[in-house]
Amino acid sequence: MQTKPIHNTPTYIPPPIRPSPPVHQTPSSTPPIKPRAISISTPNTPVAIPIPQTIEPDDSTAAYYDYQFLFMSQRSEATRPVTLSTVEGVIPADFPAGTYYLTGPGLLTDDHGSTVHPLDGHGYLRAFTFDNVTKNVKYMAKYIKTEAHVEEHDPKTKKWKFTHRGPFSVLKGGKKVGNTKVMKNVANTSVLKWGGKLLCMWEGGEPYEIQAGTLDTIGQYNIMDGADLEDHDDNKGGDVWEVAALLLKPILYGVFKMPPRRLLSHYKVDSRRDRLLTVSCNAEDMLLPRSNFTFTEYDSNFNVVQKQNFRIPDHLMIHDWAFTDTHYIVFANRIKLDVLGSMAAVYGMSPMISALRVNPSKSTSPIYLIPRFPEKQKGKERDWRVPVEAPSQLWLLHVGNAFEVRHQHGNLDIQIQAAACSYQWFNFSKLFGYDWQKRKLDPAIMNVKGGSELLPHLVQVSIKLDSDYNCQECDVKPMKKWKKSSDFPATNPAFSGKKNKYLYAATTLGSRKTLPCFPFDTVVKLDLDSDSAQTWTAGSRRFIGEPIFVPKGDGEDDGYLLVVEYAVSVNRCYLVILNPKRIGSDNALVARIEIPSHLNFPLGFHGFWAAN
C-alpha cells in the first residue's frame, strides 16, 4: 500500500502576495491549471501552508517556494508498478520498448533537524517502463539500500537520523568533532545498465547493484578490481608525494573508512566498439598534488578488455571526462588545500569539502590527452604528462560528446562539446545554494549577475594535433547561438565518440526575473553545422531536469527526448516525451505523462535509457 509522503522541508509561511493575472504558457505546454494547496512541514510540527491561487512569477517569495519544491524529500516508495496517466498527447506507436532509469537524492532532511546537501541525499531510483504493446508506462521508485541507508533509517518507526556527515554537509545534532563518518556512499549520482547488471553510482566508491525487475538492492558491486593493471608511471614510489600517500592511507582508509579508490560517476559507452569505459582515482589523491587515473574498458559481457593507470602531476578534482578513438581526455579542474577550511571542517563548523577549494592560479585550462592505446603510438613521443593549454579558464562540469577527425596527412582534429563554469563562481560547499546553517537551499547563488559567463554554459573546445600528436592549436568558444545558462548536454548515444551534428541541453529562457538562470525550464537543440538553436519551453513555473535521447532509427535525430518536468504551478511531476525534429515548433511535445501527486519526487541527477 502506498502512503502519502511527509515532505521534510523547513517550515515556511510566505507573506501575502498580491494577486496577478494568470500566466499564459507557451503553445507547446498544457493550459494553466488551478494550483492546489500543499502541505510543507517539519517532521514533528505539521503546518498546512496555503499556496496563493495566483503568484507573480517574478516575486522573490514565490521563487523561494518554487526552488524548494525541487528538493523536497520523498519518503514513500512505489514498490509495485503504478500505471501512469497520459494527460496530454499520446505515446507514439513507434516509441521503443524499454526503461528510463533516473537516480538522484530522495531524502534531504531527517527527523532530528539536519538538512544535507543534495549531493549527500540518499539515492532514490526511479524507473519508467514503456510497454510497446499496451503503450502504457509503469512507474516504480525505491531507495537504494546502501550501508548508510540501513544505518540511518529505522524501518519500524520509519524515522531517519543522519549520522554520516557526508562530504558536502553539516549535521545539526549529534557528534561533530571527531565524527569520522564522512564518506557516505548514497549511490545517487548516475545509473547504468550494462552486461545484464543495473548499477547506481556515486563519486566516492563502488556502485550498488539493483535488481532490474523489482528495484531491490542486491549490494555493492566490485567493479574496480579484476585484470592486471598496466601502469604508465615512470616514477613508482620514488618521490616525496608517494611517501605522503603512504602516510595518508591508514588515516583515510582506517579512520575515515574511505575506500582505496573512488569510481567517477560518469562513464562512457563506445558504441562503435560496444565497450563501457570507466575511470577511478586513488582516495589519497584528494589531498595531494598528483592524480592517479585508472581507465578500464569492458566488453558487452562486463569482461575487462584493458586497464591502464596514468599519473598526472597536478592536484585535480574531476567529475566528468571525454574519450575519442585514440585518447582519454581529462580537463584539469585544479584544486588546492584550504588550511582554515580544513580546521573548520574537522571541528564540524563547515562541510568536509571545505578542506578543498578551486585553484585559479593559472589563466589557462590544462587539458590532458592521454593515449587510449599507447602501443599504437610507438615512435610518436609526445609526453602525455604535458597538457594542452586552452587559452581561457574554465571549470568543466559535464561533457556532451567528443570526437576526432583524422586528416589525410596525419593531422588530428579533436572536438569536445561540454558545459563549463567559472572558477570565480564554483564553490564546493554552496552548490545548489546549500546553506546548512539556515537549513534551506538559497537559489541566489545559482542566479548571480553575469550568469551567462560565470554559471554553467555550453562551450566547444577545438584541439589541432600534428601527425606526432604535438598541439598546434587549442581554442575554447562558447556556443555562438546559445549563451544562456545551460547544463546536462546530451547526444544520441549511438553517436557518442563520433562526429555529431546535434547537441541537446537543459537551459533557461531567462524570462523570470528572480530565477533567470536556474532552475532550467527549457530544452535547447543546437545544430552544430549551421550554428543554429531551437527550443522547447515547459511553461510558466515549470522546470526540467536532464534531457535524455531515446533512439529508434539510424538518423541522428531519429528518436525521442525524455525529460522530467517539475510543474510547481500545479504541484506535479511529469515525464515529457518530445520529438527532437520538431523542437522549435508548436507541436514538439508528443506526450505529457503524470506522476501521482503523492509520488512527487525531487530533482534527479543523471539517467539511462535501457532498451528491451
Binding residues for Fe cation: 319, 398, 606
Residue 80 has φ and ψ, to the nearest 5°, of: -125, 150
Is there a contact between 264 and 318 (Cβ–Cβ < 8 Å)? yes
Cis amide prior to 551 (ω within 30 degrees):
no
Give the Cα separation of 563 and 553 in Å (integer).
20
As a residue count, the chain comes to: 612
Contacts with 487 (C-beta within 8 Å, 6 or more apart), sequence order: 397, 398, 419, 456, 505, 506, 507, 520
DSSP per residue over 342-371, as a string?
A: HHHHHTTSS-GGGGEEE----SSEEEEEEE
> Grid coordinates representing 245?
600517500
CB-hemisphere CA count at 13 Å for 218? 16
Query: What per-residue string of b and e applies to 111-132 under the rule 16 or more CB within 10 Å gives b?
Result: bbbbbbbbbbbbbbbbbbbbee
Note the helical H segments in 417-529.
451-454
Nearest to 352 by CA among 428, 427, 291, 248: 428
The conformation of residue 334, written as its DSSP 8-state character, comes to B
Provide the greatest CA pair distance for the chain.
Answer: 73
Cβ atoms of residues 99 and 213 within 8 Å: no
CB 593 within 8 Å of CB 587: no
Let me know: does 285 contact 291? Beta carbons within 8 Å. Answer: yes
**Binding-site residue positions:** 319, 398, 606
From 291, 131, 145, select the one nearest 208 (Cα to Cα). Answer: 145
- What is the DSSP-derived secondary structure letter of residue 316? B
What are the residue ranges of helices labelled H in 393-545? 451-454
Q: Is 411 helix (H, G, I), strand (E, B) or coil?
A: coil
